Amino acid sequence: MQIGPYKLSSPILVAPMAGVTDRPFRTLCLRMGAGMAVSEMMSSNPKVWQTEKSLRRMDHAGETGIRSVQIAGADPMLMAEAAQFNVDQGAQIIDINMGCPAKKVNKKMAGSALLQYPQLVQEIVTAVVNAVSVPVTLKIRTGWEPEHRNGVQIARIAEDCGIQALAVHGRTRACMYKGEAEYDTIRAIKQAVSIPIIANGDIDSPQKARFVLDDTGADAIMIGRAAQGRPWIFREIRHYLEQGTLPLPLHKDLERAMIREHVEALHAFYGEVLGVRIARKHVGWYLKDSDAGRDFRSDFNALDEAEQQLDSLAHYFANIA
Q: Is 224 annotated as a binding residue?
A: yes
Task: Count Cβ neighbours within 10 Å for each residue of 270-295 and write b for 16 or more, e otherwise.
Answer: beeeebbebbbebbbbbbeeeeebee
Q: Is 218 annotated as a binding residue?
A: no
Q: Is 225 annotated as a binding residue?
A: yes
Q: Is 262 annotated as a binding residue?
A: no
Q: Is 17 annotated as a binding residue?
A: yes
Tell me, yes or no, if 29 is annotated catalytic. Answer: no
From the list 29, 100, 161, 175, the catalytic residue is 100
Distances (CA, A) of 38 to 230, 296, 321: 17, 32, 35
Q: Is 26 annotated as a binding residue?
A: no
Q: Is 139 annotated as a binding residue?
A: yes
Give the Cα separation of 262 and 25 in Å (integer).
7
Q: Is 32 annotated as a binding residue?
A: no
Burial of 221 (C-beta count, 10 Å sphere; 0-12/13-18/19+) = buried
Q: Is 16 annotated as a binding residue?
A: yes
Residue set of the binding site for FMN: 16-18, 70, 139, 169, 200-202, 224-225
Residue set of the binding site: 16-18, 70, 139, 169, 200-202, 224-225
Task: Tell me which residues are annotated as active site.
Answer: 100
